[in-house]
Structure formats: C-alpha cells, structure tokens
Amino acid sequence: MKLWGGRFTKETNQLVHNFNASLSFDQKFYEEDITGSIAHVTMLAEQKIISDEDKDTIIGGLKSILEDIKSGKLIINEEHEDIHSFVEAHLIERVGDAGKKLHTGRSRNDQVALDMKLYTRKEVLEMDKLLKNLLNSLLKIMKENLDTIMPGFTHLQKAQPITLAHHMGAYFEMFKRDRSRLKDIYERMNYCPLGSGALAGTTYPLNRERTAELLGFYGPTLNSMDSVSDRDYLIEFSCAMSIIMMHLSRFCEEIIIWNTNEYRYIEIDDSYSTGSSIMPQKKNPDIAELVRGKTGRVYGSLTSLLTTMKGLSLAYNKDMQED
C-alpha cells in the first residue's frame, strides 16, 4: 500500500511505478530519513500527540532498521516507491500499528526537503574538509619553494620572474575563496523545513523549533510553501562545486603542460601516471586530464538543476525529484 493510495481503487501500472519511483536515487538518504524521523517522533511525544510508549517503540524500530541497512542485513530493493515508503513499511512490519503513527503531522514533501538538507549539509562539511586538506598541501609546497625561481606567464608566454611559492599561492587564494563560499551556503541553508506539511502546515500542535534544535539547525524555516519548494541551496552548492572544479581544472591544465617534454618543469610520479599500449616511452597525465574532463559533468548538473527549477509554480512539483 502506497502512502498516498487512500483514494485509489486501482493498482498503479508497473510502467508508471517504475517511471515515478525515486528509490534508486533517494536511497542514499536512508540515514538522514531515519534521523529526521527520530527527531519528529521525539517532538510528537513531547507535544503529547503520541504516547511515550509509542515513541520508544517507533525509535527502537527505526534504530534497528538503520543498523540492519548499515550491516547489509536489510537490502533496499526496488519494491517501494521511495526511501520514506521503504523505511515506514519495514517499521510497521517490525513494530506493528505504532509504526503507522510515524507519519503524523508530516508530508513526504517536507520529509524529502529535510532529508535533502541533512544530506547536503553533510556534503558541504565534507567538501570543506577536503578543501582544507588541499590548502595544507599547497601551503607545504609554498613553504618549501620560497626561493624556487620560475617564469611567470601571460598568454602562455614568459613574462616576469616569480617563485613557485608565488605561483602556488594563487591557487591557495582560489581554494580559500571556495571554502568561504561553502561557509556562506551552510549559513543560509541551515534551517529546518520539517513541519511545513505538504505546503500549508498541519492542524497538529507541532513544535518546529524543537525539531530544528534536535537536528542541529539554527531554527525552522519561516514560510511553509517556500520550505517544500526551495532548492536554492542545491543550486548554490552545485554552483560552488562548479567553481571548485573550474579551479581544479586550471590547476590540472598546468600540471599537464608542465609535464610535457617541451616544458619539463615537473615529472608526475609513476603511481599517478599511465602509459601507452603501443608507445612504451609515453608517460601520460591521465588523472589530471580526467579531473579536467569531469568538470563538464559538474557544470552539466548545475545547468540541469537550474533548468528544472526555472518554470515551477509554488509549491511542490514532481519535477523536483530530478534534483
């Protein structure tokens, strides 16, 4: 039985189910979905909307599902429409009627908005950590090459003498700005959409401030219609990643040029190079070329998301599944 199937008298055509389903994409949100549900039922019990006994039963069931997914004991299959349906179905199977109260005062619209925010927030922090490691590597090269003289270029022609430290310092500034952009995104996005319902809230006396607090948000979002249809933070994150990839691509372009026989500024280590099946003298900078090439894929994701969102009226539309 589907979460939305109350008024329907016919089963969904299998082709429609396959086309409509999002489980193949949103299954990666299983931990965020369960974390959000635990916060939701905790708040429901505090508000006396459900009993403490039901809360404990539901949370125990949710934690067991999370543990079984992580251990591989429970496999996420294509039988269900989305990760929310998958979790709820297995919860009811494990704990009975108490599991049916999980969805009280909640729509899949605010649920998926929450899952996406929790997941993206985690990815923003992970990206920031990776950039910090990259900056430390660049800083190490800079410190070791304060007196390493090299030509500076304009138009790929030798222009003025500089140091390698100065050259690497330019990339240091680029990636430092990238971290600043990620911080801005985090500050803007860290507000909780849960409690917005399908688009206009609910008649249940929810405590949205409490749910936001439990999930580490600064507070609840302020407009329920915007809450379920906002994907600005995803566009911003895609834009920030596109800029990061542009900086990485420029860096890799110089590695590729510097590694050529014509320049011979650097030699890429064998463990980070590939060869030729017919020309044994070749040592190819394939990894740097792949970073440069995959930049286009990230740009494509940004363009796709912008195009998906550009014509959508308020509030939620199924197009947003493509995010």
Is 276 in the active site? yes
How many Å apart are CA 2 and CA 166, to the nearest integer?
Answer: 60
Give the residue among 189, 301, 170 at the shortest CA–CA distance from 241.
Answer: 301
Residue in this structure with the two tokens 């923003």, named with its chain if needed:
124
Q: What angle do CA 75, 81, 86 make, to 5 degrees?
A: 40
Residue 316 CA to residue 111 CA, distance in Å, equals: 12
Give the contacts of 67 (CB within 8 A, at least 6 positions apart).
Answer: 73
Cβ burial of 145 (10 Å; 0-12, 13-18, 19+) is middle
Instruction: Note if 155 is an active site residue.
Output: yes
Q: Which of 24, 51, 137, 276 does the annotation list as catalytic?
A: 276
Task: Tell me the helix, strand and coil percentages in the chain, rounded to 5.
Answer: 65, 5, 30
Structure tokens at 46: 């505090």
- Per the residue annotation, which of 155, 271, 277, 313 is the catalytic one? 155
The residues carrying an active-site annotation are: 155, 276
